[in-house]
Amino acid sequence: MAARHLSRSIAMQSLYEWDFYDKDPKQLKKIVEKNIQEFGSGLGDPSFVWKLIEGVKEKFPTIDKIIEKTAPQWPIPQINILDRNILRIGLYELLYGNKKEVPPKVAIDEAIELAKNFGGESSRKFINGVLGTVYNQIKE
């Protein structure tokens, strides 16, 4: 598995766990360190995991507002916990990430890949719909 894809998987698992335990800010660092140790044996440098985690944490309220605006029929608590954390990573990369490092279409494709690998049947379509809508809005 490519290092960045593995990093995204670890970030997603960590955000999922953090979200599940009511987003306790004191626990996030421990959760990420545990997941890097458990799942990141082939990773080498975990800096991209931390970049995603810190970025999502910093932009968390803004990202959730974007999700609510883009998918108004799905309030945040009603979105599957896995899907909402994949969306958070995807939106962070799409809106705030280094576009030279991760072009917008790559950010979307990576989020869809996470949804395919870890989500339910409708996850891929939901993630694609939300991220595609945001991408089209920022492109204009």
Answer whether residue 44 shows pLDDT above 80: yes
Q: How far is CA 115 from the centre of its chain?
A: 10
Q: What is the pLDDT of residues 13-40, one digit of tens each?
A: 999 999 998 888 889 999 999 999 999 8
Q: What percent of the chain has pLDDT over 70?
A: 99
* Domain that residue 92 falls in: 1-138
pTM: 0.94
CA distances from 61 to 9, 57, 68, 78, 122 (A): 22, 8, 11, 17, 25
Q: What is the pLDDT of residues 84-115, one digit of tens each?
A: 999 999 999 999 999 999 999 999 999 999 99
Task: Report the pLDDT value the prediction gives residue 60, as an integer from 0 to 100.
Answer: 93
On average, the pLDDT of the chain sits at 94
CATH of the domain at 115: 1.10.940.10
Q: Structurally, how many domains does the chain consist of?
A: 1
